[in-house]
Amino acid sequence: MVITRDLAPPAADVASYRAVRDLTESLASPLSPEDQTVQSMDDVSPTKWHRAHTTWFFETFLLLPNLPGYEPFHPDFGFLFNSYYEAVGSRHPRANRGVISRPGVEETAAYRRYVDEAMARLLLRSEPDPDLASLVELGLNHEQQHQELLLMDIKHVLAANPLRPAYHRELEREPETWRPARYLPRPGGLYEVGHAGDGFSFDNELPRHEVKLGDYELADRPVNCGDFLAFIDDGGYHRPELWLSDGWAMVRANGWNAPLYWSGDGESSVYTLGGPLPIDPSEPVCHISYYEADAFARWAGGRLPTEFEWEAASTELGDGHRFSPDWVHPTGGGPHPGGTGQVWEWTGSAYLPYPGFRPAPGAVGEYNGKFMVNQHVLRGGCVATPPGHRRASYRNFFPPGARWPFTGVRIARDPEPTAAR
């Protein structure tokens, strides 16, 4: 698999469109038709559904309204591949995506080619239209989100198989050196947060506004597996005083005693998209829920940073992002060890609208705002986030119990903490 590593943020031109669309197909290419059909839990979607749904977005929001004479590829795909846009009509229940064997992967590929050909015609029309260009950009960013979802979903699918098959075997792990985390002191004050400039952003990153922060400290690297093993060894999963009440209920109901995908004697093995590997203490811990991130922080004498503390400090942290689906396990290394972009980092901030937030008008406005409850913000991006799809103001979000995304954590603390560890 060859991946262009420095793809620019997608723009509304044919080259950018093709690059994004090709990456999706490249990500699906190691997977059999059977692999692409399975839904291993309600939150997971089959690979072929991701491939079709991202295509449906262009068909529904770009081609049908804007390309005269365009005929839908199939009359029922609007029903099958709508994810949650209530304004666009009824839809197939999410939990049943895995009981749909047809269209199969071949017909799905044909659907993609059909829409891509029409999109090329639309994009090559002489007269440029800024509204349409915005929608194309949104569609490409939407597809990039689904590229990451595709990887985290197929990881869950394959891990559910007792054979623990690999998505891809070309995995070379680079040696790391473990080093202790240091806390960077950060001064309080008024900070501007939110997206700035002309480039693309999602509506939930706006408006840019001022927040008041107190003094705080932020760790210079994410929590790594070694840190987390110490938490486990210290009885972390058996001490209710470390947990939020809802988190403790989850621990007991689900028998959690380690991050998702850890297994083996003494939890010595971790399932990766390259198959099972020994746990490397220097790698960022991944696949933990908000509850586990929060309990770890409390155990460590710290707390989770707010999303604004994170954003205000982000340039100081360095960029450790490295995308490669051959290498879809976070590493502690890369260009900036400890930098952002290895794991999505849970913040203590609930996912809520910024002051003055307005969703985009029309059906695409159902994109972000309607999920602003019962979720927490994550920042930074991860090893599965496509190039060009990250920025300091980017707000990812998941419910606090989610563990199948590539989720980790970086610890903050107040100056002069009373309890140091």
Reported as type and span, the H/E element at residue 177 is none
Q: Answer whether 375's CB lies under 8 Å from 349's CB.
A: no
Reported as type and span, the H/E element at residue 322 is none
Report the alpha-carbon distance of residue 375 to residue 400 in Å, rounded.
6
What is the rounded end-to-end Cα distance, in angstroms, of the chain? 44
> For its own copies, which residue of 5, 22, 33, 315 counts as binding (CB under 8 A)?
33
> For its own copies, which residue of 167, 291, 310, 327 counts as binding (CB under 8 A)?
291
Residue 212: CA count within 13 A, CB half-sphere: 0
Could you tell me the maximum CA-CA distance found in the chain, to the nearest angstrom?
69
Question: By rule CB under 8 A, what string of x and - marks binding of each residue 241-280 to its own copies?
Answer: x-xxxxxx--------------------------------
**Pick from 164, 140, 191: which is nearest to 19 by CA?**
140
Of residues 349 through 368, those in contact with its own copies by CB under 8 A are: 349-350, 352-353, 355-356, 358, 366
- Report the residue number, 40 or 224, with the smaller CB distance to its own copies: 40
Size of site (CB under 8 A) for its own copies: 70
Q: Does the footprint of its own copies cover residue 189 (CB under 8 A)?
A: no
- Report the residue number, 70 or 357, with the smaller CB distance to its own copies: 357
Residue 340, strand partner residues:
319
Q: Which long-range contacts (CB under 8 A, 24 or more apart) does 277-281 make?
A: 277/171, 277/173, 277/329, 279/225, 279/229, 280/173, 280/176, 280/225, 280/332, 281/178, 281/224, 281/225, 281/226, 281/229
Of residues 101 through 160, those in contact with its own copies by CB under 8 A are: 101-105, 157-158, 160
Contact segment (CB under 8 A) with its own copies among 97-105, 264-272, 322-330, 331-339 equals: 97-105
Question: By rule CB under 8 A, what string of x and - marks binding of each residue 42-81 to its own copies?
Answer: ------x---------------------------x--xx-
> For its own copies, which residue of 29, 32, 257, 268 counts as binding (CB under 8 A)?
32
**Pick from 153, 209, 218: which is nearest to 185 by CA?**
218
**Shortest distance (Å) from residue 20 CB to its own copies:** 25
Report the alpha-carbon distance of residue 226 to residue 237 in Å, rounded.
16
CA 90 to chain centre: 26
Contact segment (CB under 8 A) with its own copies among 59-67, 260-268, 348-356, 380-388 equals: 348-356
Q: Which residues contact 208 (CB under 8 A, 6 or more apart)?
A: 192, 193, 194, 195, 196
**Shortest distance (Å) from residue 214 CB to its own copies:** 5
- Report the residue number, 44 or 279, with the smaller CB distance to its own copies: 44
Of residues 302 through 321, those in contact with its own copies by CB under 8 A are: 303
Report the alpha-carbon distance of residue 179 to residue 296 in Å, rounded.
18
Q: Does the footprint of its own copies cover residue 82 (CB under 8 A)?
A: no
**Shortest distance (Å) from residue 152 CB to its own copies:** 16
Contact segment (CB under 8 A) with its own copies among 58-66, 94-102, 256-264, 330-338 equals: 94-102
- Report the residue number, 181 or 377, with the smaller CB distance to its own copies: 377
Q: Does the footprint of its own copies cover residue 370 (CB under 8 A)?
A: yes
- The count of residues in the chain is 421
Residue-wise burial string across 339-371, b where 16 or more C-beta atoms lie within 10 A, e elsewhere? bbbbbbbbbbbebeebeebebbeeebebbbeee
User: What tokens does 29 get?
Assistant: 């290419």
Contact segment (CB under 8 A) with its own copies among 134-142, 169-177, 210-218, 311-319 equals: 210-218
- Report the residue number, 122 or 211, with the smaller CB distance to its own copies: 211
Q: Interface with its own copies by CB under 8 A: which residues?
A: 32-40, 48, 76, 79-80, 84, 86-87, 92, 96, 98-105, 157-158, 160-163, 165, 190, 209-214, 240-241, 243-248, 290-291, 294, 303, 348-350, 352-353, 355-356, 358, 366, 370-374, 376, 400, 414, 418
